[in-house]
Amino acid sequence: MQHVSPIREPLVTGGKTYHDITEDVSRQVEAKPNIRWALALAVALFFLGIFIYSVYRTLWYGIGEWGLNKTVGWAWDITNFVWWVGIGHAGTLISAILLLFRQKWRSSINRAAEAMTIFAVICAAMFPVLHMGRPWLAYWVLPLPNTFGSLWVNFNSPLLWDVFAISTYFTVSLVFWYLGLVPDFATIRDRATGPIARRAYALLSLGWTGSAKHWSRYETVSLILAGVSTPLVLSVHTIVSMDFATAVIPGWHTTIFPPYFVAGAIFSGFAMVLTLMIITRDVFRLKDYITLEHIESMNKVIILTGSIVGVAYITEFFIAWYSGVEYEQYAFINRATGPYWWAYWSMMTCNVITPQLFWIRKIRRSIVATFIITIFVNIGMWFERFVIIVTSLHRDYLPSSWVMFSPTKIDIGIYVGTLGLFFTLFLLFAKYFPVINMFEVKTILKSSSGVPHSLEPEESMHATTPVTHHNKHHD
């Protein structure tokens, strides 16, 4: 006997059957691109062109094309690097931690979040490589045997820790994402009518047949990857924060950075997932799968992590005062009242004040309000990284070294260009890959609606097997 909670709303609405799920998700892969998708891709490709031109200028003329100077040696490049790494954090959290905790509401959003993670890390990796000045020597950061005498990497440097953390994060996320796609690729393979599509998806599906053995191994590997990925949620941005926390520069040398950065990363990551999923549910007509229940659940995570970030901001000021170090105190007073006061107060408004509106249930369940607030959150998190990096550097111990930083057109071009790269990749993913995890949504269909759904005769083994397998273990 199954008990359905009278309080919890269904995760799949519209009275969907298993066959409906396959049709709704496969439709956007099999149909020809619509005009809205084509226009969005054209805009993304335009900004990608700006990125390519800006990178060309940087490689040909050098880092002097950027706005860096003798005092502010890190600025937009590292700001954008940390921002992009943070945006990628929600994918791992949704995929790994929520899977281990058996949170069923993750099923409709996990694939897009995982894809967002991979694309965000690709964008993030561009900045340190370009900042090297000679990116063709990037392999020098790897501990490889060489013939350059005593040339070896410094294992005490958090910059080297970044290399290992980001590369591990990217690799595990990529495997996790692709593994989840294999059963759905098999479904699309069996539905494909054109020879090219059939061959392409057959190659991508790796010979998946939907047998009990395949599903058993699939679930085992998923849990192993979830267990491996869970520490990465905490470790990656902890290591990124140590780029600053291990320095002795006032404003950076603080032990609160690791938890503060992790909370901020999840905060901005969930905001970006919401931004993309609100657009996706409208463009691909997936409102029955990405429901208000999903949006409200993610908004609750934003309230929590946004509140943690707000407490961290206050704690930083308290520790600066409590330390009794005048340089530390000046660094924080300068942030709020100095030349970059506008960046600091933009950060406080977007990250601390705006998300508190989600305490109101009506706003928390409003699509328009959620979309606007998540945009503000991502703007605020960019300003947070800018404030931490630039305002801590532009006032040195010597007044003769005090300078202001202003980005050049190339700085702006590279940043805007990575947005073009990110959205180009995401749009291609959303069109040619199933944007929602079909088989995982099928496993929650019965429990989310409370009404048993019979299988349609057209359904293939790829839909029926996960339901039976899942219920056998978890019902």
Query: What six digits make up the tokens of 290?
Result: 């990405």
What is the full DSSP assignment across 332-380?
Answer: HHHHHHSTTHHHHHHHHIIIIIGGGGGGSHHHHT-HHHHHHHHHHHHHH
Which residue type sits at 216? Answer: S
Q: Which long-range contacts (C-beta less than 8 Å, at least 24 apart) are formed by 3-6?
A: 4/447, 4/450
What is the full DSSP assignment across 53-92?
Answer: HHHHHHHHH-GGGSS--SS--SSHHHHHHHHHHHHTHHHH
First to last CA, the chain: 10
Exposure string of 352-364, with b = 16+ CB inside 10 Å and e = fewer, is: bebbebbeeeebb
Domain ranges of the chain: 18-138+163-446
* Whole-structure pTM value: 0.88
- Written as tens digits, the pLDDT of the chain (475 aa) is 555 555 667 778 778 888 888 888 888 888 888 888 899 999 999 999 999 999 999 999 999 999 998 899 888 999 999 999 999 887 788 878 888 877 788 888 888 888 999 999 999 999 999 998 888 888 888 888 777 766 788 888 888 898 899 999 999 999 989 998 999 999 999 888 888 988 999 999 998 998 999 999 988 998 898 888 888 888 898 999 999 999 889 989 888 999 999 999 999 999 999 999 898 888 888 888 888 888 998 999 999 999 999 999 999 999 999 998 999 999 999 999 999 999 999 999 999 999 999 999 999 999 999 999 999 999 999 999 999 999 999 998 888 889 999 999 999 999 999 999 999 999 999 999 999 888 888 888 765 544 444 444 344 444 444 444 444 333 3
